[in-house]
Amino acid sequence: MAQEMARNAPEEVNFVHEGRAAERIAATLSERDDVVIPGIYWKLSTRRVLTMDYLDGIKITNVEALREAGVDPAQVADTLVDLFNTMILKNGAFHADPHPGNLFVIPPARPGGKAKVGIVDFGLTKAIPDEFRQQLIVLTSAIIAEQPDAVYASMSDMGFKTRDDNVETYNALGEAFLGDVLRSGQAYADQAMMAEINQRMGRV
């Protein structure tokens, strides 16, 4: 963890790095109409100053404000899960600091339209090696299909370690990460589900 922090900390305060990372991620998502990433104004930016488009949105955790704006929080959660699945499993590059301060919801311009997710602060992004990305796809498919042996094999190949290193434990770990979420269609908007997932993670 210390090595990871030492490697990433200088990049997080280098705004040239952040601006370029934002543009790279934006390019990989350019075909989507449900995500907004601020454009960068390079003539007004330096290592210490980053000038970008202003996003006028609602903080993603402000459920009351979302509903007042006619936005369904469950739809936003589904969009967010699909968005990060696309970045990680398809594109192999993702925003690695998605806390609520970096995520906004832009309500639709007219009734019946679809809300968009706005993402800021690209100081921490990650590129996934293609081999590992393929392993993640195999693991996700095995969890959805409820194939314990395939989950075990995939997680072992990826270097996961658990306390007792058996098939049941690996399958429980896979379920804790993705199982109920993927099959329920409720994404991570269900607080009771998230509490159960956190309890499972502590047991494996």
Same domain, 12 and 67: yes
Average pLDDT for 142-154: 80
Query: How many structural domains is the chain composed of?
Result: 2
Same domain, 17 and 90: yes
Task: Express each pLDDT in 78-125 by its tens digit.
Answer: 999 999 999 999 999 999 999 999 999 999 988 878 999 999 999 999
Same domain, 120 and 162: no
Which of 83, 102, 127 is at the close of a domain? Answer: 127
| pTM as predicted | 0.75
Is 78 designated active site?
A: no
**What gap in Å lies between CA 73 and CA 67, rounded to an integer?**
7
Beta strands in the chain (DSSP E): 35-36, 58-59, 93-95, 103-106, 116-119, 125-127
Say if residue 143's pLDDT is above 90. Answer: no
Task: Express each pLDDT in 153-187 by its tens digit.
Answer: 888 888 877 776 666 776 666 666 655 555 555 54
117: three-class secondary structure by DSSP: strand
Catalytic: which of 82, 97, 180, 190? 97
At 139 the pLDDT is 87
Task: Express each pLDDT in 191-201 by its tens digit.
Answer: 555 555 455 54
Domain extent for 73: 2-127
Decide which of 28 and 189 is more confident.
Answer: 28
**What gap in Å lies between CA 204 and CA 47, rounded to an integer?**
43
Mean pLDDT of the chain: 83
At 179 the pLDDT is 57
Report CA-CA distances (Å) from 127 to 88, 91, 94, 137: 8, 9, 7, 15
Same domain, 104 and 150: no
Could you tell me whether strands 93-95 and 103-106 are parallel, antiparallel, or unpaired per DSSP bridges?
Answer: unpaired
Say if residue 188's pLDDT is above 50. Answer: no
Same domain, 114 and 155: no
At 121 the pLDDT is 96
Same domain, 183 and 93: no
